[in-house]
Structure 1
């Protein structure tokens, strides 16, 4: 990044570590599953490499941390920052748990695999010429794409309010989000002002990190600078 961009605020997207259901591809929304032992190690590995002074995510540069209320996300935050780092941010009033970052409410599709959802919808005559796509069709008895977009737009407005006055490094304004696979991909699309149906190729594996920032020439046009689609390892 050029020196003139070095102070540009960023949004770090951290996906929680592996759970039993993420391991086998089951849709996990409100079900409150713990991290697996592998999931714990994924987050610890990422933390060791990216968290700390002079590292990618410097706690001193964080203006705020937003976390999903689900246990798997809360545990990921604890592991990522460690006891001391967490306490410092909490004591400074920089940590918020918010339903705005809860995973997509999958409704009737909770715990199912994609092919099971499509088979169920086919039996009900819900899909015509194309297969079910969550980004367009949403979930029965759960959330639509428009409902997910609305709650994410509310959070994005809060982040813009934090970052816009500090586009040239006037004050530390990085933001950290700890949440879920579908939800973080949806956040990236809305940050870029795309509808959720837009085919954005961005995947963040369990324990992985993504990075978003504004374009330096026009603060009204947010841009995706980097997506790291895997948990960081030594």
Structure 2
């Protein structure tokens, strides 16, 4: 692959605030993939869109979006339609599968188990582990790299996805350890992280993820951000 074809920027954004972010019992009656944004979530996306427009310098963008309602609504509310050259629905960027319609008490109990067992390896009873999401994100990266080989492809790429998926994308991209991943927090609703191409054609994050447990990143792990 001609390295000059690599995009200048790969932006990741977590969906805006959803109804389930305010009330987890929503999952008892609404499938996870059908949970909508709140009005505030649309506002968060609109604000993020203004920042992304500036970042992209009003140049064309290729978009990959999770098929969940809240991510598709986030994309719509970004206000970037005039810049989007291609928008592809990408199921491999979906949220971690937890269950179908959820039992709130059971999920809360499992969340506590996950904290002690490990977020990467714990598999929800009727869902996925973080490592399962890592595997499908890895196959998505192969597809994305093939798309980069087109010299006519936009120099800006945007992934509209979910907090855990964003962390696992970066873990896979930068080859972070499981221990480092376990120490990181999800970004907030409507927050972005941007991979910026450097003169040597490698990428660095515009800012790190916050950490919620003590772990000292290795020099290689720290080198992932500016």
Normalised by the size of structure 2, how large is the TM-score? 0.72
Which residue of 2 is the match for residue 157 of structure 1? 142
Q: 1:67 aligns with which of 58, 65, 68?
A: 65
The 1:110–1:197 alpha-carbon spacing in structure 2 relative to 1, beyond 3 Å, is farther
The 1:20–1:69 alpha-carbon spacing in structure 2 relative to 1, beyond 3 Å, is same
The 1:195–1:147 alpha-carbon spacing in structure 2 relative to 1, beyond 3 Å, is farther
Which residue of 1 is the match for residue 159 of structure 2? 177
| Structure 2 residue 33 is the aligned partner of structure 1 residue 23 | no
Q: Which has the higher contact order (CA 8 A, sep 6+)?
A: 1
| Structure 2 residue 128 is the aligned partner of structure 1 residue 143 | yes
- CA-based RMSD of the aligned residues comes to 3.4
SS of the residue 1:47 aligns to: helix
Q: Deviations over 1:135-160 (max 9, x none)?
A: 22132221123321121011112222
Which residue of 2 is the match for residue 80 of structure 1? 78
Shift of 1:187: 1.2
Q: 2:94 aligns with which of 82, 86, 102?
A: 102
Q: Deviations over 1:48-99 (max 9, x none)?
A: 3332xxx11345242x2100101100011011035x42xx63xx4x110011
| Structure 2 residue 195 is the aligned partner of structure 1 residue 203 | no
SS of the residue 1:13 aligns to: strand
For these two proteins, the number of residue pairs brought into alignment is 201
8 A contact 1:136–1:196 mirrored in 2:
no
Which residue of 2 is the match for residue 11 of structure 1? 10
8 A contact 1:211–1:227 mirrored in 2:
no
Shift of 1:175: 1.0
Q: 1:190 aligns with which of 148, 153, 172?
A: 172
Shift of 1:106: 1.2
8 A contact 1:103–1:180 mirrored in 2:
yes
